[in-house]
Amino acid sequence: MTEHQCKRCGSSIEHVACDVCDGEGLDGHDCGEDCCCCADPEPNVQCQLCQGRGGWWRCLSGDEWCEENPLPGREGVIGGTPEAFEVSDSVRS
């Protein structure tokens, strides 16, 4: 199973869904017409807050702690950057 941790400090992280686009990455509809006549307008405009990613990762230790406690050699890594690692089922039990 793949888990994630903060690449800067090694703490747990969580993915936060964007409030503006509800985690979809799209916010609004633009068909290129001045007056939209689409029968069922589907969202097709990239969300400005999350830049179309649907959310972002957040370090659960908090921004201040993460900034002050980087792992050795990771001082230049931005807090909340996800780092994936594999956990075996035997470790999780």
Is residue 93 located within the same domain as residue 68?
yes
Q: What is the pLDDT of residue 92?
A: 55
Is residue 72 located within the same domain as residue 59?
yes
For 68, phi and psi rounded to 5 degrees? -85, -10
| Residue numbers of the domain that contains 71 | 1-18+54-93
Q: Do β-strands 2-6 and 82-86 pair in parallel, antiparallel, or remain unpaired?
A: antiparallel
Is residue 11 located within the same domain as residue 43?
no
SS3 of residue 69 by DSSP:
coil
Cβ proximity of 54 and 21 under 8 Å: yes
pLDDT tens for each residue of the chain, 93 residues long: 889 999 999 999 999 999 999 888 988 888 777 777 777 778 888 999 999 999 999 999 999 999 999 999 999 999 999 999 888 876 555
